[in-house]
Copies of this chain bind each other. A is one copy, B any other.
């Protein structure tokens, strides 16, 4: 297992890619974010997006899937998250895009009351053209190494 003590500011992880199809974009949006620029390829052409684009919340859902895949690869003792400090959707995610990601640890500090620590990290997702489509600073909670917690 990888514990809080094993994480340091400056650590960088590359995240596994995700392909995004038109069907994926529409399926997520019909269920959660049914605005025409996310659900209707024809009507989307008349909007500020100029064509179908993924919901930012869909992009974020893909991001957490990429992060959790990494957590599992590392056997990270991740126990949840208190939230997000900031998130910006910079470039529309389009049908056929392939997203890759990178997470960098910005800061870590131990909990004063529980056997865990906090990690502040920045995650960026980019498309196949090298454009950063989303950048987020988020918080994670990681269990302490059992001997350290005891």
Residues on A facing B (Cβ under 8 Å):
28, 31-35, 37, 47-49, 55-57, 60-62, 64-65, 68, 71, 78-89, 116, 141
User: Are B71 and A64 closer than 8 Å at their CB atoms?
Assistant: no
**A82 contacts B86, CB within 8 Å?**
no
How far does the alpha carbon of A88 sit from the alpha carbon of B25 in the complex, in Å?
Answer: 26
**Nearest CB on B from A63, distance (A):** 8
* Residue in B33, B61, B64 whose beta carbon sits within 8 Å of that of A68 in the complex: B33
Is the beta-carbon distance between A88 and B83 smaller than 8 angstroms?
A: yes
CB distance from A50 to the nearest CB of B (A): 11
Flag if A56 contacts B31 (CB, 8 Å).
no
Which residues of chain B come closer than 8 Å to A64, judged between CB atoms?
32-33, 55, 57
